[in-house]
Amino acid sequence: MTTPAYATDALIADDIDAYLDQHQNKSMLRFITCGSVDDGKSTLIGRLLYDSKMIFEDQLAALESDSKRVGTQGQEIDFALLVDGLAAEREQGITIDVAYRFFTTEKRKFIVADCPGHEQYTRNMVTGASTADLAVILIDARKGVLVQTRRHSFLCHQLGITNIVLAVNKMDLIDYDQTAFDSIVADYAAFAAEIGIADFTAIPISGLAGDNITQGSGNTAWYGGPSLIDHLESVEVRSTANLEKPFRMPVQWVNRPNLDFRGFAGQIATGSVKQGDTVRVLPSGKTSTVKSIVTFAGELDEAQSGQSVTLCFDDEVDCSRGDVIAVADAPPEVSDQFEATIVWLDDEPMMPGRAYAMKLASQTVSATVQPPKYEINVNDPTGAGSHLAAKTLELNAIGVAEIMTDKPVVFEPYRENRSLGGFILIDKLTNRTVGAGMLHFSLRRAQNVHWQAVDITRDDHAALKNQKPRVLWFTGLSGSGKSTIANEVEKKLAMMNRHTFLLDGDNVRHGLNKDLGFTESDRIENIRRIGEVAKLMTDAGLIVLTAFISPFRADRQLVRDMMGDGEFIEIHVDTPLEVAEARDVKGLYKKARAGELKNFTGIDSPYEEPEEPEIRVNTVEMTPEEAASYIIEQVLPLK
Amino acid sequence: MTPGLTHLQRLEAESIHIMREVVAEAEKPGMLYSIGKDSAVMLHLAKKAFFPSSPPFPLLHVDTTWKFREMYDLRAKSADDAGMELLVHQNPEALKAGINPFDHGPAHTDMWKTQGLKQALDKFGFDAAFGGARRDEEKSRAKERIFSFRSASHGWDPKNQRPELWNLYNTRKNKGESIRVFPLSNWTELDIWQYIMAENIEIVPLYFAAPRPTYEYEGGLFMADDIERLEQVLGHRPRITERSVRFRTLGCFPLTGAVESTASTLSEVVQEMLLTTTSERQGRVIDKDAGDASMEQKKREGYF
Ligand SMILES: Nc1nc2c(ncn2[C@@H]2O[C@H](COP(=O)(O)OP(=O)(O)OP(=O)(O)O)[C@@H](O)[C@H]2O)c(=O)[nH]1
Ligand SMILES: [Mg+2]
Please state the ipTM of this predicted complex.
0.93
A80 lines ligand 1 (CB under 6 A): yes
Chain A hits for B164, CB-CB cut-off 8 Å, are: 127, 433
Residue nearest to atom 8 of ligand 1 (CA): A40
Residues 6+ apart with CB under 8 A from A384: none
Q: Does B161 touch chain A (CB under 8 A)?
A: yes
First to last CA, chain A: 73
**Radius of gyration for the alpha carbons in chain B, expressed in angstroms and rounded:** 19
A42 lines ligand 1 (CB under 6 A): yes
For B211, the 3-state DSSP assignment is: strand
Q: Are B63 and B89 in contact (CB under 8 A)?
A: yes
Q: Taking CA A601 as the corner, what is the angle to CA A598 and CA A604, rounded to the nearest 5 degrees?
A: 50
Residue B304 or B91, more confident: B91
Query: What is the enclosing helix (H) or strand (E) of A34?
Result: strand A27-35
Render pLDDT for A11-68 as a digit per residue (tens, 0 to 9): 888 888 888 888 888 889 999 999 999 999 999 999 998 888 778 887 888 888 888 8
Lowest model confidence (mean pLDDT) among A88-92, A297-301, A519-523: A519-523
Burial of B199 (0-12, 13-18, 19+ CB in 10 A): middle
Distance CA A1, CA A210 (A): 12
Chain B hits for A98, CB-CB cut-off 8 Å, are: 143
CB atoms within 10 A of CB A443: 18
Distance CA B247, CA B113 (A): 20
Check residue A554 and give its pLDDT.
81
A627 lines ligand 1 (CB under 6 A): no
For A375, the 3-state DSSP assignment is: strand
Q: pLDDT category, A126, cuts 50, 70, 90? A: very high
Query: What is the enclosing helix (H) or strand (E) of A387?
Result: strand A387-388
Measure Cα distances from A69 to A42, A75, B292 in Å.
Answer: 18, 9, 11
For A323, the 3-state DSSP assignment is: coil
Burial of A221 (0-12, 13-18, 19+ CB in 10 A): exposed
As beta bridge partners, residue B220 has B217
Chain B hits for A310, CB-CB cut-off 8 Å, are: 51
CA of B52 vs chain A CAs: smallest distance (Å): 7
Q: pLDDT category, A7, cuts 50, 70, 90? A: low
Residue A445 or A99, more confident: A99
- Cβ–Cβ below 8 Å for A102 and B9: no
Asked whether the predicted pLDDT for residue B25 surpasses 60, the reply is yes
CA of B126 vs chain A CAs: smallest distance (Å): 18
- Cβ–Cβ below 8 Å for A304 and B10: no
Render pLDDT for A556-587 as a digit per residue (tens, 0 to 9): 888 898 888 889 999 999 999 999 999 888 88
Q: What is the pTM of this model?
A: 0.79
Q: pLDDT category, B174, cuts 50, 70, 90? A: confident
Distance CA B298, CA A27 (A): 36
Check residue A2 and give its pLDDT.
41
Q: Are A219 and A211 in contact (CB under 8 A)?
A: yes
Distance CA B142, CA A557 (A): 72
Check residue B20 and give its pLDDT.
98
Arithmetic mean of pLDDT, A437-448: 76
- Cβ–Cβ below 8 Å for B188 and A102: yes
Within 13 Å and on the Cβ side, how many CA atoms surround A93?
A: 11
Residue A441 is given by DSSP the state: E
- Cβ–Cβ below 8 Å for A345 and B163: yes
Render pLDDT for A335-356 as a digit per residue (tens, 0 to 9): 999 999 999 999 999 988 888 9
By C-alpha distance, which of A173, A175, A170 is closest to A221?
Answer: A175
Arithmetic mean of pLDDT, A586-593: 88
Measure Cα distances from B57 to A230, B21, B28, B77, B172 in Å.
Answer: 46, 13, 8, 17, 19
Which residue of the set A217, A288, A478, A550 is catalytic? A550
As beta bridge partners, residue A444 has none
Mean pLDDT for chain A?
A: 90
Q: Does B288 touch chain A (CB under 8 A)?
A: no
Q: What is the 3-state secondary structure (H, E, C) of A100-115?
A: EEEEECCCEEEEEEEC
Query: What is the enclosing helix (H) or strand (E) of A545?
Result: strand A543-547
Q: What is the 3-state secondary structure (H, E, C) of A591-622?
A: HHHCCCCCCCECCCECCCCCCCCCEEEECCCC
Arithmetic mean of pLDDT, B6-23: 96
Q: pLDDT category, A639, cuts 50, 70, 90? A: low
Arithmetic mean of pLDDT, B241-254: 92
Residue nearest to atom 32 of ligand 1 (CA): A170
CB atoms within 10 A of CB A576: 14
Q: Which of B2, B7, B143 to mutate to test the interface with A (most CBs of A within 10 A)?
A: B143
Respond yes or no on whether the N-terminal peptide bond of residue A371 is cis (omega within 30° of 0). no
Check residue A198 and give its pLDDT.
86
CA of B35 vs chain A CAs: smallest distance (Å): 22
The pairing of strands B29-32 and B259-260 is: unpaired
A212 lines ligand 1 (CB under 6 A): no
Residue A604 or A110, more confident: A110
Check residue B288 and give its pLDDT.
44
Arithmetic mean of pLDDT, A402-419: 93
CB atoms within 10 A of CB A125: 30
Q: Are A397 and A390 in contact (CB under 8 A)?
A: yes
Asked whether the predicted pLDDT for residue B103 surpasses 90, the reply is no
Q: pLDDT category, B293, cuts 50, 70, 90? A: low
The pairing of strands B241-246 and B259-260 is: antiparallel
Atom number, ligand 1, closest to the C-alpha of residue A205: 31
Asked whether the predicted pLDDT for residue A301 surpasses 90, the reply is yes
Q: Does B200 touch chain A (CB under 8 A)?
A: no
State what percent of residues in chain A have pLDDT above 70.
96
Distance CA A479, CA A584 (A): 6
Task: Tell me which of A38, A142, A170 to substitute to probe ligand 1's pocket, judged by most ligand atoms within 8 Å of the beta carbon.
Answer: A38
Arithmetic mean of pLDDT, A268-293: 96
CA A395 to chain centre: 17
By C-alpha distance, which of B229, B289, B218, B288 is closest to B253?
Answer: B229
Q: Where are the beta strands (DSSP E) in chain B?
A: 29-32, 59-63, 86-90, 128-130, 147-150, 178-181, 210-217, 220-223, 241-246, 259-260
Q: Are A121 and A97 in contact (CB under 8 A)?
A: yes
**Positive/negative CA dihedral, A532, A537, A541, A544:** negative
Asked whether the predicted pLDDT for residue A231 surpasses 50, the reply is yes
Render pLDDT for B123-135 as a digit per residue (tens, 0 to 9): 999 999 999 999 9
CA A535 to chain centre: 31
Render pLDDT for A308-324 as a digit per residue (tens, 0 to 9): 999 999 999 999 999 99
For A166, the 3-state DSSP assignment is: strand
**Positive/negative CA dihedral, A315, A318, A320, A324:** negative
Residue A97 or A462, more confident: A97
Arithmetic mean of pLDDT, B147-167: 92
Q: Are A581 and A590 in contact (CB under 8 A)?
A: no
Check residue A574 and give its pLDDT.
93
Residues 6+ apart with CB under 8 A from A173: A141, A142
**Radius of gyration for the alpha carbons in chain A, expressed in angstroms and rounded:** 35
State what percent of residues in chain A have pLDDT above 90.
62
- Cβ–Cβ below 8 Å for A239 and B188: no
Query: What is the enclosing helix (H) or strand (E) of A139?
Result: strand A134-140
For ligand 2, the distance from its centroid to the CA atom of residue A31, given in whole angstroms, is: 15
Q: Are A391 and A349 in contact (CB under 8 A)?
A: no
As beta bridge partners, residue A35 has A138
Lowest model confidence (mean pLDDT) among A63-77, A417-431, A470-484, B75-89: A63-77
Asked whether the predicted pLDDT for residue A9 surpasses 80, the reply is no
Distance CA A389, CA B281 (A): 54
Distance CA A381, CA A191 (A): 9
Render pLDDT for B263-282 as a digit per residue (tens, 0 to 9): 999 999 999 888 877 765 44
- Cβ–Cβ below 8 Å for B136 and A102: yes
**Is-catalytic flag, A65?**
no
Residue B302 or B27, more confident: B27
Arithmetic mean of pLDDT, A195-217: 93
Distance CA A630, CA B240 (A): 109
